[in-house]
Structure formats: structure tokens, C-alpha cells
Amino acid sequence: MDLKIFYNIHYEMPLGIPIALYFYLTGLSAGSFVISVISTIGGRKEYKPIGRIGAVLAPLLLILAPFTLIVDLEQPPRFWHLFLYLNLKSPITYGSFLLTAYPINGLIYAWYLFKGNARLAKILGLIGIPLAICTHGYTGFILALGKGRILWSTALMPTLFIVSAMVSGMALVILAAAIRYAYRYQYTPVEERESDRALILNLGKMMGGMIIADLFLVGNDILVLLTSTQEALHVAHLILFGKFQPFFVGIEILLGGFLPMFMVFLPWTGRSLRGVVVAAVLVMIGVLAMRYVVVVAGQFLPLH
Amino acid sequence: MSKEKLQEKPEKKAEAKVHYGMVIDLRRCIGCHSCSVACKAELESPPGVYRSWVKIIEKGTYPHVRKFFLPSLCNNCDNPICLTNCPVKATWKREDGIVVVDPHRCIGCKYCMASCPYDVRSINPLKRIVQKCEFCRHRVDAGIEPACVETCLGRARIFGNMLDPKSEITQLLATLPTQVIKPDLGTYPQVFYIEADLDAMNPMKGWKGDE
């Protein structure tokens, strides 16, 4: 039967690229913080540089992240309402406290780490891990509670966000460690050079493992969407075959998922520093595409 | 929670004597857009934003063709997700069931717009805050009907207190088959349609944005 929409009002997308960018920045921060604490607590001497790199990157990124949120507000000068009029049911309220507590804790942690106070750094790091995971997990809840949007309202969303945060955080730490390696190449003795190199390659393997977990979750999500409601089928087609195919299938899944996973695990690229660095760059682009697809494709379907 | 309690409308207060709702009788709607015009005039909505509009679809092939109308507005849900998600409590439900937005408290984070399953909220481009249909609360408080109800020339819109057994809306709801949009979401919309078309209520029907 012929069916045409004759008149309907223009459809507006409330959340845009600043929000996707915000999710990306918090993800990078949470991921690099967790890597930093794991390598600090692990206690092995050769892991120390990773701990320091993560400790610097995490609070830096998280000081930038809230600005994207405040810029996105229609009334930026009213942002303090978030701390005064609390709605304890809203995930954004949790966010405003987590976004305050987590960078402060991260800065103190970094301070003690660089001062060499290992015991305090460990304690603060242990406090920081749940904070970091919550800071990124709550962004998943923001989307999951968006009841009308079929791509968002899944219980998988917070887990998916945390896992992709780990992936992108590891990629960022790998990049920073590789830059440090190249910069200090002339001044370091051969043994230290070797251990730094082995460390980056090991991180690459860990990243590969997280990519597998990430792809598994995305696959589950898509399979359920394909067999769920009419809207779910539409959104699955939209990202698999429709307008978002280049971003989702092309960049997020193939270029930012499968390709770096194979690069890290295959001996030819996995044992070369260049291969792992290229894989890390691809992963960072892939996760950025993932944030974009989730936020924008999630709001692409009409609701009326 | 017992089974009976789950079937009850949530947050229904025993002492409340007034609960406003609207019935839109589509047997009487002629798709003239008077309600949209009256709404814009009453609330001074700037160009580009609507608190109430009429969606029109056309079905069939000649000679068996018909247009179907769906006047759309905020459903003033009994269990609104925007109220749960607003971080600053700028939106809340009044005792009489109207869901309102406080223009002085809204920070414009647009989370309510993103989570509303009906997409009836919009940013006022002049005031830079979120606005939506509030059943013309200023008129209702003064004892007169909302602008769209008063202006509707077919008398397709019936507004009133759903807890008063003598009101027209209660009698219509009791005696005629009615529908709400997306009942499966558990939002309990308070705008009811008589003889609404399933395809007009389905946003995915006729949508071509994917191509």
C-alpha cells in the first residue's frame, strides 16, 4: 500500500558532536588511568614509565572533557545549577560529582607517584579505579536511560562504554610510550631500550585482548537489534547498510577493530614497534567513530 | 509490589482531585492546523519550533485514498522519563498531572529532548531553554481551556479533569475505544486518541531518511 508522509515538523537532533567528543575524552582518560594504576600496583620496575604516562594523561584529558559539556549547554552560565538543584534519579547528577572527584583524585595520585611515595600512590590509585570506571560507566547510563532511542536503551551500553574506554586508553598510552621511546632513544642504555620496547609490545597484546572483548559486545548488540522490534531493525540497517555504514562497518569495526587486532597478534606486525603504533592509531580513530555512531546514529530515527 | 499495584498508574496520589488529560477525536479532525496556529500565537513560539502540530499521512492509490491526521503534542505522561532524567529538576509534574518546565532553572542540556520517546520538546531559539506543551497551564489556572482546544473548529479536542466522573473527557474515555502513542514504553501518556491510525502513530512508516 502506498503511504506518504504529507506533513510533519522538522526533526531536531538534540545531542551532537561535542557530546560524542566528551564521551571520547572521558573514555581515553578512564582507560589510561586504569592502565597507570595497574602498572603502579603491579610493582615491576620496567612498568614504571607506563604508570607515569597514564597518571599525567588521565587528569589532563578529564580537565578538558567537562568544557565540551558546558559549551554544549544552551545556558552555559547556569552550569552551577547541576550542583545546587540535585535530581538524584538523573545520571547527569552522578556525572557532575564524578567529574569533580575523579580528576582531583587523579591529580593527587599523579603528585604522589612523581614524588616517589609508592604507598600513598597505591592507595589513591585503588580509590581511583572505581572512580574512573564510574566516570565512564555513567556516560553509558546517560545513553541507556534515553528510553526513546532504540540504539541507546540497552543494558549493554555501560559495559560497552567501559570496555571501549579501556581499548582507547591503552592505545593512547601505547602512543605516548612510543613517543617517549623515540625521544629518549639516544640517551638510554641498550637493556633499558629493550625492556621499553618489550613493554610497548606487551601493551599491544593487552589491547588486542580488549579489542576482542569490545567486538564481542558490539556483535551481541547488533545481533539482538536485528531480531528485536521494528525500530531496532531499522537502526541496525541504518548502521550496517545505511548512511552510517562507512563510520560503523568501515571505520569502527574493520579499520578500528579487526585490522588492529590482527596487526597486534600476527608476528610480522605484532613484533615490530611500528606495527603496534599503527594499530594504536587505528584503534583511537575507531573508538572516535564508535562514539560518533552511537550518539548521532542513535538519534537519527524519527520519533513522531 | 503486588500485581494490582503494578497495573495502577504510578505516582497517583489519593488526595489529588484533579488530573488533566486530553482526548483527540480524530473522527472530527479535518487537518486544518488551527491548533498549531493557536498554539504558536498563544505561547509566542518563534519560527521553527512547535509545541503542537498535525502530522498528516496519505495512504492508498486512487480512487481509494485517504489522508490521516495525528495532532501531536506533549503527552504530559503520568510516568515521564524527562522528569527522571532532568539533572536540575527543571521539569516536574504538578499535582494536577501537567508536566511543566521551569524556564529559570533549565540549563539547556537537552537530555530531556534526547530521552523523550515522543520528541515533543524543543529548544526555544530566542530564550535558549527547553519548551514543550504544558496544556496552557496559565489558561487552565485561570479556569479556561487550552488555546488549541478553544480554537479547534471541529471540536476534536476535549480537555478536562479525568478524575471528575461528570466531565466530558471521563465519559468519552469510559465509553469509546481510545489509543495512546507507544503504550509499551510505560510512560502512561495522558493524551488519548479516538480512531487514530496505526500508520500515522508509527514514526517508521513512510520514513525515507535512510536512503
Q: Is A95 left (phi over 0), alpha (psi -120 to 50) or beta?
A: alpha
- For residue B4, what pLDDT band results from cuts at 50, 70 and 90? very low
Report if residue B103 sits inside a domain. Answer: no
Report if residue B106 sits inside a domain. Answer: no
- Could you give the CA distance from residue A241 to residue A246 in angstroms, rounded to a whole number? 9
A91 CB near a chain B CB, below 8 Å?
Answer: yes
Question: Is-contact B41 B20, C-beta < 8 A?
Answer: no
Coil vs helix vs strand at A43: coil
What is the rounded average pLDDT for all residues in chain B? 90
pLDDT tens, position by position, B10-19: 555 556 789 9
A302–B204 CB contact, under 8 Å: yes
Q: What CATH number is associated with residue B144? A: 3.30.70.20
B30 has pLDDT over 60: yes
Select the residue of B84, B114, B123 nearest A89 (Cβ to Cβ). Answer: B84
B180 has pLDDT over 70: yes
User: Hey, of B119, B131, B197, which one would you mutate to test binding to chain A, going by the most A CBs within 10 A of its CB?
Assistant: B119
Question: Is-contact A180 A49, C-beta < 8 A?
Answer: yes
Report if residue B21 sits inside a domain. Answer: yes
A85–B105 CB contact, under 8 Å: yes
Select the residue of B50, B81, B110 nearest A15 (Cβ to Cβ). Answer: B110
Copy the grid coordinates of residue A183. Answer: 625521544
Report if residue B23 sits inside a domain. Answer: yes
Question: Is-contact A276 A270, C-beta < 8 A?
Answer: yes
Look at residue B3 in the predicted model and tell me its pLDDT. 47
Phi/psi for B120 (5° steps) reads: -105, 0
Coil vs helix vs strand at A122: helix
Look at residue B12 in the predicted model and tell me its pLDDT. 54
Report if residue B85 sits inside a domain. Answer: no
Report if residue B143 sits inside a domain. Answer: yes
Strands B191-194 and B20-25: parallel
Average pLDDT across each block of 10 residues of chain A; the chain has 304 residues. List them in order.
Answer: 88 89 95 90 78 90 90 92 92 92 93 89 91 92 92 94 95 94 86 88 93 96 93 94 95 95 91 93 96 94 90
A302–B207 CB contact, under 8 Å: yes
B129–A300 CB contact, under 8 Å: no
A window 128-167, beta carbon within 8 A of B: 142, 145-149
Report if residue B197 sits inside a domain. Answer: yes
Chain B residues near residue A69 by CB distance under 8 angstroms = 109
B93 CB near a chain A CB, below 8 Å?
Answer: no
Question: Is-contact B82 B99, C-beta < 8 A?
Answer: yes
H-run or E-run covering A143: helix A118-144
Chain B residues near residue A242 by CB distance under 8 angstroms = 210
What residues have CB less than 8 Å from A118, skipping those under 6 apart? A40
Size of interface A-B (CB pairs under 8 A): 164
Residue with cell 526513546: A148
The amino acid sitting at A151 is: L
Residue B22's domain spans which residues?
3-76+133-208
- For residue B2, what pLDDT band results from cuts at 50, 70 and 90? very low
Residue with cell 531480531: A227
Look at residue B209 in the predicted model and tell me its pLDDT. 75
Q: What is the DSSP string of B36-55?
A: HHHHHHHHTPPTT--SEEEE
pLDDT tens, position by position, B137-166: 999 999 999 999 999 999 999 999 999 999
Torsion angle of alpha carbons A115, A118, A123, A125, nearest 10°? 70
Report if residue B176 sits inside a domain. Answer: yes
Q: What is the pTM of this model?
A: 0.91
Count of domains forming chain B: 1
A window 230-259, beta carbon within 8 A of B: 230-231, 234, 237-238, 242-243
- For residue B211, what pLDDT band results from cuts at 50, 70 and 90? low
